[in-house]
Structure formats: C-alpha cells, structure tokens
Structure 1
C-alpha cells in the first residue's frame, strides 16, 4: 500500500516549547516538578514526562507549598496565577505565546469598553484560561446559532477573539454572523490566527484529494486533532483518529490503495512512525511526504530556563534551537 504523509503535521512551536520547559525544569530543579493540567493533550508525551519525574495535577491544591509548578500550554486564568503566588509556588508559565497574544488582545478590547466575545469550545482548558484572563463578563460563542441569541444591543461596542486551535475556516461563518448582528464590531486580523492550526487543516484538505483513507494521529481530547479528522470526513474520505499503531483497525485500510496520515499539533513524530510500523505488519508499505508548507517558527523559553546547558536530549535530537528569540506572530505565519 502507498502511504502519503501530510506536510506539515505534528508538533507546532508552542508544543515544542512547552515540552522543553518541563524537560529543562526537571534538569534544573530535579524531580518532581508539578504540571497543572496535561502540558499538551497527548498521553504519550505525558507518560514520557511522568517517567522523568513530572507530576500532573488538575488543581494547585494538589501541589506542595513552594514546589516548582508549570502552567500548561493552554494557559490559565488570573485566579490560578494569583493562587500560585499566594501559596508561594515556583511557577513557570508554559502558555503558548500565541495564546498569550489572544489574552492581550482580549484585555485591550475590554479596557476600551467593548463587550468581549470568545469564539471557542466550552470546557476546553484554553477557553477557560482565556475567559479567566480577560476582565469582565466574557461571552463564549460556539456556533452561528448562538450569535443570534446574544442579549447585546446591535449598536453596542463589541469585540471578538478566538481559541487558537480553531482556524480561519472554522471561525469564518461565526465571524460573519457577528458582523451581521453588530454594527460596531472589531476583532483580530485573520493573519493573527494560529498559523499551525491553519496549516495542518489546509494540508489535510489537500491530502484528502489523493488518498482513500485518512489516519489522524492524536488524542481524543485534542481539539485540533479532532478537527483534522472532521475535515477529512467532510472531504468525503473515511477518516479515523488514533493515538498510535495499537489502535489501528485493519478493516479501515483493507481495501485502500493510498492511505493518508497526519498528526495533531500535540502528537509526536514517533507516533507517526508507530502507525506506519503497524501498517507494515499488514503488508508492504511505500511512504512519501506530500509537498506543503515548512514551518520555522521558534518561541523563546522563560529566562530561567534559557541556558543551553539545560537543553533536553529530545530537543537536541530534533535539532530544535529552543533558545531562539520569540518569533513575531505575523512573521511566524509568513515563514510557515
């Protein structure tokens, strides 16, 4: 069978940075270090870090006083930051810089007197963190229908921000509905949306024109991975979300001549290799990579972890210079 790998796929710069923060914190401070929520939504990443000495908790009251505590890439509410300070925890923020940019935009809109609407998925940790970072009553909108039910005057000053794991395509119709609903509406430029999300979704749409089946590698609680599977299905191609090769059902690919593989932004490349290995157990496999965008964005680490001597083996093996300067979001999108 022929296998075509999507390009780009897998880890984005924000995920690489978050994992590197945990690795370097373990090297500098020793085990254990505590991580509030999964650092990224991938069980293999989490289990690997657990073996190194990371302990994952959902609330800060599970962390001993004064312990090294890392906030996940999804971001946290201001109340969480305040609680960490009150308990004198050694807090290190691994929030993705693109998520931080959404927080900043939202606070600026609120400070200007605008009602802030967040486009996102209820219950997602990034959404909870963003709503807790913006002053005032932020309103969550998940679809066009909810826009019509908003109890806000049509001429009220309104602004919107979006969850970073939603692409331009995901939010386009909701933003259009907001523009129809409100006469004084502002929001971020579409170029400010997470480039990694958009690139991976665009790659899946292109991949779907060449394959009979799509396998998306990622976690079931990963918003961006689930969306990749949905896009494949929407394109008319049977698409399946799996964590690794052990979850591959041979029946999915039995009659397929060409199989497409992609991976969510929090899925490591070794899981892609694991799925390919599972396919090889079913028969001969020829692997190629689809032409696509190459991403070169790199995000600066927190100052206390920037010493190159703290570089993890994973970072060295992937030739990732995690000590690079924080890329401007628009420059990163252009490079990608």
Structure 2
C-alpha cells in the first residue's frame, strides 16, 4: 500500500512538472519580438546619456544602488535625499536620473543641472523630454545604466524622491535575501487598465488589450537583484511600451517567468513597503522599509529624529 501511495505521489508530481514545463514552452513559443518601429521607442539604444557617471562603480561593488527618477527642476528634492537615506555610505550608492527640461538644452535650468552634476557626480541625464509619459523609457534607461556600469552590485532600488527609506532595515533584510531573480516591494495583484480618457492612468484597448495586469510592484519603490536589470531589458523586446512604468516592469517580469515577492513582516503580515502617507512615528517607521509622500523639508525633519533614535525602538 505504501509503495502504491509513493508511486501515485511521484506520478502526480511528474504530471504537474510536465504541465508546468509545457506551459512555459507554450508561453515562450507565443513570444514574438516587437516590430522595429514599435521597439524603437522603448529601446535603450534609441537614446543617449547627456550627463553620465560611468566610473562610479569602477573601483567598488555597492551592496545597494538607489536609482532615483527626478525632474530637472527638483533640486530641493535631490538635496533632501543626499542628506537623508541617500547619503554616501560604504554599502550604498545613490544616483539621480533625469530627462530634458521643457526649456531645452540652452536653458538656465539645464546649466544649473550640469553644474549640480559636476559638483556631486550623481546625476545621469538622458536626451528625451522629462515627463510622466516618458517614465517607462526612463526606467529602461536606468536598467541599461545599471547593467552596463554597475553589474557587480548586489541589489538596486528604484525609488521616488518623495519617499522615506529606512535604509538600515532594508539592508538588514537584504543580507538574507536571494541574489538572483529577486524583486520585492508592494505587490499589486488585482490591477486592471483604466479606460477613461480623462484619467492620468488612461490606457486604451489598442495599446493594451488585456482586461487585467499581471502582478506588479508599486513604482513608489521596489528592490531587485541586479541581474534582473539586463534580463528586463531583454524582455522589453517583446513588450509594447505603455506609460505605466511599474505595470510595464511587471509585464517584462511575466515574460521572464519571474514572480515579484510581497515584502511583509511577521506575524501580522504588514506591508513593509507602505505606499500611503503616514504620520511620523519613530518606532512605527523603524519597522517599515518605505513610507510615501514627503516634501523635502518633511523628509529632512523626520530623518533628523529617526537616524538618531531608531535603534531605541
């Protein structure tokens, strides 16, 4: 009887494995590269870096690289990040990614950005207009930069400049996290396209015909092993560009067969990537990785207290 049960279990396991592999083969077979005219818009080879920092990882392999998308005019936000969670540390590197100002390359804003980049050596600028609609392109250029110039880093975090990041708690958790094919944050599993043209997140059926999104991570902040940068770039050859960068990364992950991991604490399963705005409480923030929506002055004020006393919680 025991032999029969073992045989039955082994048969079921083999059947499930075969079905899984068959599904993977079928999914791979269904993939077809985008037409050249469609891929050109998302391809990182379409664009170039106007300001670059190609040598920052030459003599080091940072444990965690912060990739922060910013608009050219957000100098106050960049300064706040530099003075808080993005400050220089042995384990971390912080870089800001920007597009072109509306006023153009000859504008005072562009000259100020170039001067700031020379002073801090942490600004990377691309030659497309900086806009919400181009955020997906910016994200792919961030992936390209990471894969090309800092491939030996362990992890990267795409994070907005208005986010509080508990870098201490994050690094502690990453010490015991997978180093390959790993991506974590606040996972959204029930997302669907909004068809109302008046909304900021409008997505036409022509651009995206499915009725739901695959699991994806909130773009406020997510962390991934650096090997995924090049793999996501590869997957983008099969995914038509949409103006929702976090959903787009989720679509690339689906091509790769990589499932995003929800980051939570035990035993209450609280989301560690808090995408709401919370009133500051040192001991609550000490147990989270990110909290959303801080003005630069608020971030500076909160960090001054948190960095001195979070160890007491």
TM-score normalised over the length of structure 2: 0.24
* Bigger RCO (CA 8 Å, 6+ sep): 1
TM-score by length of 1: 0.23
